[in-house]
Amino acid sequence: MKQIINEINKGYAMKCFHEAIEMGINFKLNSKVNEKHFNKEMLNNLLKLPVNESSTEKILKEFKNEILPFCTNFSNVKFMGFPDAGNSISGITGAIISEFMQQNLINSSFCAPIATFTEIAVINWLREIIGYKNKEIKNIWDVGGIITYGGTGSNTTAMLLARENFSNNTMINGVSNPENYKIIIPKGIGHYSIRSASMWIGCGDNLIEVDTIDFKYDLDKLKSALMENRGKVMCVVAYVGDSRTMTIDNLEAIYDLVKGIDKNIWLHADACHGFSLAFSEKLKYKIKGINLFDSISIDPHKVLSIPYCISALLVKNPEKMKLITSSSDLIMQEDFAYGQITPFIGSKSWISLKLWFAMKSFGVKGYGKLIEKRCEMASYLKTQINNSREFVVLNDVNINSVVFMYVMDKNNVKNLSIELLNSLNQAIYNKLLEEGNYYLHKFTIPDNKGIIKKNAILTPLRYMSGNDNINKEEIDKMLKYIKQIAGDLRNEQNM
């Protein structure tokens, strides 16, 4: 059988792997974001169950012709939305090797002897970079963090910690009065994972949304919410780069306010994007105070040129992980069996190896330069938009994201219909998708800053410099391209 790696099939395996790698590199260097568009009418062909054996060579050919053209190329220099391109050579190398190694980090001594300790090293590095104090590591409860498959998993585990910290032994006894297990989030910019997590862990849909000023907590409103719900708030979540505007909240002020009212309230920083600033001596001041928070979720796959998936939850006091420890004879009861402290995850592949490779390759200084360049590109776009007549910026450009709208003439924007502007920007986005040359993200957001109309719900475009090949010339071309599309749409609609 040619499907199995062994001495006989070594040459054949090498040939297949080489072809797969070559295909992947060529895909990343393709000139378009999208070659073709998949539609649901094509689904039936994918649903046909394979019955007979087939060679990997034949399957590679089928994939190249029938699957690959429909994939979105985040690595293309014209892809200027979300997510990260995942383009680091070292990161991809680590991802490939980890698949070969077949290590399972649920246990240590047998399933993942050295993998466990390289993962601990990666977590230790991240804690040091973010400003947490590390201690001598004698077991997994000294590490102060876990690797997960995404920010949703990290945030959900943080909410589980907040629940157990709020009411010990709830894991055993259950939640009897979910309305008393409240989570506070900023209104309009909260990530869906927090609301979902609250429901997943049995606390119901009992979030308190607090108004914001410039996409940051209105501290007076936050104080009122805390006082009105005293004794019922288990967690306050702050964003270090929220998923829409990338705004960084007032971390030190939030810490002082919340802990001043109730020291037992769990403070969680969703820093899945913003933690990357910690690598830069020039930019890390923007996240000052993050190390005061009880837990921090970070996503290397969002900002460190790492291929999907890898996230991490870091905990200020490592001992708190004992609150959510699982016990089973299927998980070895040993000092470094990571499966004991990874809720929602059983068997886990060595996903941290790609970050281990990348951090060894870039180093803190190299990553600092990468993040600084991304921020520089975002600042450049902001300047170009501010100098234009046709666009407006809707957010403070704190990191690598620019939220903007095409408004025809910014000097007349206050007189334009919100419905008209939203419709036009939606049409621009649809055209970008259809043509596949450039890509920008799109979502709805309140006009918190009153650029067009205070608190009106807008449908802007968003640039994110997740591709390290983006340059100023390509940004200028993108703006010109959008103006061209907008002009064509206006002519069609006699606007």
Q: In tens digits, what is the pLDDT along the chain, a chain of 495 residues?
A: 688 999 999 999 999 999 999 999 999 998 888 888 888 888 888 888 999 999 999 999 999 999 999 999 999 888 998 889 999 999 999 999 999 999 999 888 888 889 999 999 999 999 999 999 999 999 999 999 999 999 999 999 999 999 999 998 898 899 989 999 999 999 988 899 999 999 999 999 999 999 999 999 999 999 999 999 999 999 999 999 998 889 999 999 999 999 999 999 999 999 999 999 999 999 999 999 999 999 999 999 999 999 999 999 999 999 999 999 887 666 667 888 888 889 999 889 999 999 999 999 999 999 999 999 999 999 999 999 999 999 999 999 989 999 999 999 988 888 888 999 999 999 999 999 888 888 999 989 999 888 999 889 999 999 998 899 999 999 999 999 999 999 888 888 776
Determine the Cα–Cα distance for residues 406 and 452; give it in Å rounded to an integer: 11
What is the β-pairing status of strands 441-442 and 233-239?
A: unpaired
Supply the pLDDT for residue 180.
94
Q: For residue 96, what are the β-bridge partners?
A: none
Phi-psi bin for 174: left (phi > 0), alpha (psi -120 to 50), beta?
A: left
Q: Are 235 and 266 in contact (CB under 8 A)?
A: yes
- The DSSP symbol for 415 reads G
Q: Are 178 and 167 in contact (CB under 8 A)?
A: no
Instruction: State the pTM of this model.
Output: 0.94
Q: For residue 457, what are the β-bridge partners?
A: 446
Determine the Cα–Cα distance for residues 482 and 469; give it in Å rounded to an integer: 20
Q: Are 356 and 147 in contact (CB under 8 A)?
A: no
Determine the Cα–Cα distance for residues 315 and 320; give it in Å rounded to an integer: 8
Which residues are CB-contacts of 385 (< 8 A; sequence separation ≥ 6)?
Answer: 391, 392, 393, 402, 404, 479
Burial 401-419, CB ≥16 within 10 A → b, else e:
bbbbbbbbebeeeeebeee
Phi-psi bin for 161: left (phi > 0), alpha (psi -120 to 50), beta?
A: alpha
Q: Which helix (H) or strand (E) holds 88?
A: none
Residue 390, amino acid: E
- Residue 42 phi/psi, 5° resolution? -90, 0
Which residues are CB-contacts of 133 (< 8 A; sequence separation ≥ 6)?
Answer: none
Q: Of 284, 287, 331, nearest to 105 (Cα)? A: 331
Which residues are CB-contacts of 354 (< 8 A; sequence separation ≥ 6)?
Answer: 91, 92, 93, 94, 95, 98, 306, 307, 310
Determine the Cα–Cα distance for residues 458 and 215; give it in Å rounded to an integer: 14
SS3 451: coil
